[in-house]
Amino acid sequence: MRRAGLLAMLLALGSTGTVLGAEQEFTTGDGTRFVLSLKDGIPGRAETERAIFESAGFSTDTAAAPTITDRFDFLFKGGNQPVRVRVEDVTLPGPVLLAEAIVPEDLPGAGFRRSRFVLQAPPCPIARGEPCSAWMFGTQPNRLYRATLVFADGGTETLLQAEPYVMSAFVARLGDRIPTRDDAPARTAQSQ
């Protein structure tokens, strides 16, 4: 029974990207392809020599107008941390900036010559036509992120991360509480 469940999960994951052994390929909204290892059928952590995209998650608030607040954890290795971090949602065509911040020099330690940085995005309205929550209304099983780390020496590193979120039940539960936004004014403001 367990083997059948694992096979079903791998087949479901394979429908969203190419599963290569213990890896899966993902494609961002702009066509960028990347591969992450799988651990128990879930995408692993994006990692470079200097950083790990340790986690991505969000909280929702549906008490008044529904909102989502994204949160990201990064682990910096070797005592070399960036000076700025930028995180974008790249699930759909056209990246959406979620959060950008200067990294403080005095980060909490996270083991030998490692430090942890937590970045929280401002609340995003859950609405049809709202760029920061548009991914919730699609059928894709993974939300894709691009983190750009800028270092003091001018170098940059990019971490591409996938997180499995299926929001259809959540969206259905909110139903007509989800407003529809006209995005024409937002597009006009961005093009100026």
For residue 66, give the H/E element and its range. Answer: none
Beta bridge partners, 27, equal 33
Q: With beta carbons less than 8 A apart as the criterion, state whether 74 and 54 touch.
A: yes
Give this prediction's pTM: 0.80
Task: Check residue 15 and give its pLDDT.
Answer: 37
CA angle 133, 137, 142 (to 5 degrees): 85
Res 21: pLDDT: 63
Q: Which two tokens stand for residue 96?
A: 């959406």
Task: Name every residue whose Cβ is closer than 8 Å to that of residue 89 and which is 6 or more positions away in sequence.
Answer: 95, 96, 98, 132, 135, 143, 144, 145
Instruction: Count the Cβ atoms, other than its own, within 10 Å of residue 94.
Output: 12
Q: What confidence score (pLDDT) does residue 80 get?
A: 81
At 109, is the pLDDT very low, low, confident or very high (cuts 50, 70, 90)? low
Q: Which domains does the chain have, with CATH numbers?
A: 41-179 (2.60.40)
* pLDDT tens digit sequence for 112-170: 777 889 999 999 999 999 999 999 998 889 999 999 999 998 999 999 999 999 898 89
As a whole-number percent, the residues of the chain with pLDDT over 90 amount to 58
> Where would I find the H helices in 43-156?
none
CA pair distance 101, 161, nearest whole angstrom: 18
